[in-house]
Amino acid sequence: MTNAPPRLRVLFDEATIQRRVHELADAIAKAEPKDLLVVAVLKGSFMFAADLIRALHRAGLSPQVEFIHLSSYRAATVSSGRVEILRDVESDVRGRDVLLIDDILESGRTLVFAKDLLMARGARRVLTAVLLEKPGKRAVTIDADFVGFVCPDVFVVGYGMDVGHSYRQLPFVGVVTTDDEPDLFEAAS
């Protein structure tokens, strides 16, 4: 045990994330979505979605934007296996191409739940984009159409993602640690 304050190790830095977001936007534009509705899964994807949506604009797309607030983790860091809708989308998705944006694809339950919901409501096509994918963790079968980075099997924070409501403001993705490694970054909180 140590009483050292929490520190952060940077996994994906700001410039690397921004470069990748623009590559993803170009790839999404190549899929030629029609009548595109972006649905960002709150809360964790808000920063990724904000950057990706602006990159989609620069890639020549004019998406409408919606949010769905889903919860499977609550305040814990272990998935409960259940997905709840805390706030639903307001737009009609019938006949539209939807781009579902989430922060992390882990068990796949969140993304499968959201994709099935939107397909059942009559979306023409549901594409999925995630910032991070943790391989080997899937409990249900789903692959995201667009993946930012493959993520090691560690609990990450920052760039919208939290632990206990903290760290969402960070412009990079990092790992909270109490180790004394040389490349550690002082936690801002």
Instruction: Give the residues lining the site for Mg ion (CB under 5 A).
Output: 44
The first and second tokens of residue 106, run together, are: 């882990």
The gap from C-alpha 142 to its chain's centroid, in whole angstroms, comes to 15
Residues forming beta bridges with residue 40, ordered by sequence position: 67, 101
**From the list Mg ion, ligand 5GP, none, partner contacted by residue 40 (C-beta under 5 to 8 A by kind):** none
Cβ(125)–Cβ(88) under 8 Å? no
Residues forming beta bridges with residue 133, ordered by sequence position: 105, 150
Taking the least distance from each CB to ligand 5GP, the nearer of 63 and 108 is: 108
Taking the least distance from each CB to ligand 5GP, the nearer of 52 and 61 is: 52
Taking the least distance from each CB to ligand 5GP, the nearer of 56 and 159 is: 159
Rg (CA), the chain: 17
Taking the least distance from each CB to Mg ion, the nearer of 44 and 174 is: 44
| Contact set with ligand 5GP (CB under 6 A) | 44, 72-73, 79, 102-110, 155-157, 161-163
Q: Which ranges of the chain would DSSP assign to H, the alpha helix? A: 14-30, 46-58, 109-120
- Min separation Cβ 180 and Mg ion, Å: 31
- Min separation Cβ 60 and Mg ion, Å: 28
